[in-house]
Amino acid sequence: MSKLLQRAYSPENFKNTGHHLIDMLSKHIGQVFDEDLNKVINWSEPEPSLSFWKEFLEKGKSEALFEEVLKRSTHLHHPKYIGHQVGPAAPITLLTSMISAVLNNGTAVYEMGMVTNPMERIITRLLCDKIGYNENSSGFLTSGGTLANLTALLSARKAKVATDVWNDGHTKPLGIMVSEEAHYCIERAAKIMGLGEKGLIKIPAKADFSMDVSALETEYSKASEAGIKIFAIVGSAPVTATGILDDLEAIGSFARKHKLWHHVDAAHGGGALFSSKYKQALHGIDKSDSVVIDGHKMMMMPGITTALVYRDSKTSNATFSQKADYLLEDSSEADWYNSGKRTFECTKNMMALHWFSLLKTYGEELFDEYVTNLYDLGGVFGEMIRNEEGFELAVTPMTNIVCFRYIPNNEGLNDEQLNSLNKLIRQYLLEDGEFYIVQTTLRGIHYLRTTIMNPFTTKDHLKKLLTKIREIALAIPPLKGESLPH
């Protein structure tokens, strides 16, 4: 072995670098609570960032790499991180990530997943029980909600379409019903499946952005008359942009009436199954055929790990009919221990370690406290905005996602100018770096969007955010009768 390879695989080098990195990460997690020392984000435009890393690759010191990564990344453990739907990972899962990387066991087949495939079986069985499925249910873990939603819809097509689309292709137009406010990955899945634009039947949303279930029969009839065979309907729990939950009970009743597959995209909200206070918000989920839940959103895990569970395990096992003799043996039984038969993934990391370690170390109560605390705070923030002069709430929050905008008093700005103003406010916040929030557009109106993901965020932090937004807005000169500068 060459000296270079020996150095790359040196246990001593790993130990020394690892000790240094653990110390650095521990300090990082601790320091984010000192708001005087750290910003949430040290903003850089894309081109300067690219230039920095090009130069660093050529001239930077390798021992400074991790420090620069930490300094230049967004700090999710900071209590003023109120941005995307990705949570601050519990520190124990940082260690399980390391174990997974060191062992590097691709767990799609049992020989490489002797530890985590049984763990995965236990975890998905627990989720099935929480949903209210019976003993015939099962599931598996996969890499992200987008992939899980696509897999579920492939299962739906396999179960509900008489022709063998997997092997013979489409012989007639097929369709999926979904709210116009659903996550974009559902539309992406439909188009990947070859359903086309006409195969995605978008149901209008109500004023609160939930699916208008009163329109289901009309939209179903219109699609059927156009020759489209609808085989599935998707409920959102919640809608990504607003955090509003669809009426899963009504959607399920409609699905049963028309013998459709009922899928629930609970990537964000599925963790509420563990909340004694908020699990009722998912009423009707037990009648669904499949459910997606992200561990890296509301269950304190690192990206990326998602559970896809099925009311009837047979539908999961039948989704992909494909031979790979070198890898998968034929079996007359549903061999749960070879998850590669049910997923796209041939190589899958040991993501079950994250779920199992949290359950074993802290118990289900940890998920209850996490979800309940953050959903509570979403409601509190909604009330703060409602009562704060100069702010407008997009919709009453149902989860920890809150959308709102700043409206200056007596300025007479039109919607285009208000949109420009709120875009500028968000950009100022980004460049300032004390807080990190995102933005969204709802029916042509530009809103500031927060997702309260950090359990150390407090009402005081949220109050400071509103104060800062007001200060920024007052420093921007409004141009009455014109668009604001971009």
* CATH assignment at residue 395: 3.90.1150.10
CA torsion, ordered 372, 373, 376, 381, to nearest 10 deg: -150
218 and 173 housed in the same domain: yes
Region 53-74 average pLDDT: 95
pLDDT digits (tens, 9 = 90+) for 196-243: 999 999 999 999 999 999 999 999 999 999 999 999 999 999 999 999
Res 426 pLDDT > 60: yes
Do residues 346 and 371 share a domain?
no
Please indicate, yes or no, whether residues 377 and 423 belong to a single structural domain of this protein.
yes
CA distance 225 to 73: 52
Mean pLDDT in residue range 367-380: 98
Flag whether pLDDT at 346 surpasses 80: no
Distance CA 191, CA 196 (A): 5
Average the pLDDT over 84-110 and give the result.
92
Per-residue pLDDT band for 323 (boundaries 50, 70, 90) equals very low
As a whole number of Å, the end-to-end CA separation of the chain is: 58
CATH code of the domain covering residue 226: 3.40.640.10
In a domain, 258, yes or no: yes
pLDDT score of 479: 47
Phi-psi sector, 259: left (phi>0), alpha (psi -120 to 50), beta: left
d(CA 291, CA 130): 11
The answer to whether 97 and 354 have CB atoms below 8 angstroms apart is yes
Same domain membership, residue 368 and residue 281 = no
Taking only Cα atoms into account, the Rg of the chain, rounded to an integer number of angstroms, comes to: 24
The pLDDT, as a whole number, for residue 110 is 86
Residue 49 maps to a domain: no
Summarize pLDDT for 29-59 with one digit per residue, the tens: 888 767 666 799 999 999 999 999 999 999 9
Mean pLDDT of 396-423: 92
Question: Has residue 2 been placed in a domain?
Answer: no
Q: Is residue 323 part of a domain?
A: yes
For residues 333-351, give the mean pLDDT. Answer: 78
Q: Is the pLDDT of residue 182 over 70?
A: yes
pLDDT given for residue 330 in this prediction: 47
Residue 112 has a pLDDT of 85
Whether 248 and 139 map to the same domain: the answer is yes
pLDDT tops 50 at residue 483: no
Mean pLDDT of the chain, nearest integer: 91
The two most distant CA atoms of the chain are separated, in Å, by: 75
Single-letter code of the amino acid located at 174? L
The secondary structure of 329-350 as a DSSP string is ---SS--TT-GGGTSS-SS---
Split at pLDDT 50, 70, 90, the class of 461 is very high
Closest CA to 74 of 44, 42, 52: 42
Q: Which domain holds residue 383?
A: 10-40+75-90+364-486
Q: Both 33 and 150 in a single domain?
A: no
Total Cβ atoms within 10 A of residue 10: 12
Q: In this model, does residue 336 exceed pLDDT 50?
A: yes
pLDDT at 117: 92
The per-residue pLDDT for 478 is 58
E-assigned strand segments in 211-277: 229-236, 261-265
Residue 261: beta bridge partners?
A: 232
Q: Which residue has the tokens 């910003």?
A: 39
pLDDT confidence of residue 486: 44
Q: What's the CA gap between 340 and 322, in Å, rounded?
A: 11
Q: For the residues 468-476, what does the mean pLDDT come to?
A: 93
| Shared-domain flag, residues 326 and 405 | no
Q: What is the mean pLDDT of residues 450-466?
A: 96
User: Could you tell me if 444 and 359 lie in one domain?
Assistant: no
| pTM of the complete model | 0.93
Q: Is residue 45 part of a domain?
A: no
pLDDT at residue 321 in the model: 60
Confidence check: pLDDT of 455 > 50? yes
* Cα 92 from chain centre: 20
Residues 6 or more apart whose Cβ sits within 8 Å of residue 310: 133, 137, 138, 139, 155, 289, 290, 316
193 and 236 in a single domain? The answer is yes
Peptide bond between residue 304 and the one before it cis (omega within 30 degrees of 0) = yes
User: Are 320 and 412 in the same domain?
Assistant: no
Query: Is a pLDDT exceeding 90 seen at residue 401?
Result: yes
Of the residues 363, 381, 411, the one at which a domain ends = 363
Count of the separate structural domains present in the chain: 2
pLDDT at position 366 is: 98
Helices (H), 247-347: 248-258, 295-298, 313-317
Residue where a domain terminates, one of 331, 363, 395: 363
pLDDT at 111: 86
Q: To the nearest whole percent, how much of the chain has pLDDT over 70?
A: 94
Question: Residues 12, 15, 18, 23: is their CA dihedral positive or negative?
Answer: negative
Residue 467 in any domain: the answer is yes
DSSP labels for 56-78? HHHHS-GGGHHHHHHHHS--TTS
The answer on 320 and 374 residing in a single domain is: no
Mean pLDDT of 391-397: 97
Q: What is the pLDDT of residue 477?
A: 73
| From 104-108, 138-142, 413-417, 421-425, the region with the lowest mean pLDDT | 104-108
Is residue 65 in some structural domain? no
Q: 63-66: long-range contacts at Cβ-Cβ below 8 A with a sequence spacing of 24 or more? A: 66/20, 66/21, 66/24
pLDDT at 294: 97
Q: How far apart are CA 132 and CA 453, in angstroms?
A: 26
Q: 144 with 258, same domain?
A: yes
pLDDT at residue number 340: 75
| Cβ proximity of 283 and 249 under 8 Å | yes
Rounded mean pLDDT, 346-350: 85
Q: What share of the chain is helix, strand, coil (3-state, %, to 5)?
A: 50, 15, 40
Q: Which of 108-117, 148-157, 269-278 has the lowest mean pLDDT?
A: 108-117
What are 287's two structure tokens? 């009648």
User: What separation in angstroms does the CA of 98 have from each of 20, 63, 91, 354, 358?
Assistant: 14, 19, 11, 11, 15
**Across residues 66-70, what is the average pLDDT?**
95
Distance CA(265)–CA(273), nearest Å, equals 13
Q: Percent of the chain beyond pLDDT 90?
A: 80
- Of 320, 344, 363, which residue constitutes the final position of a domain? 363
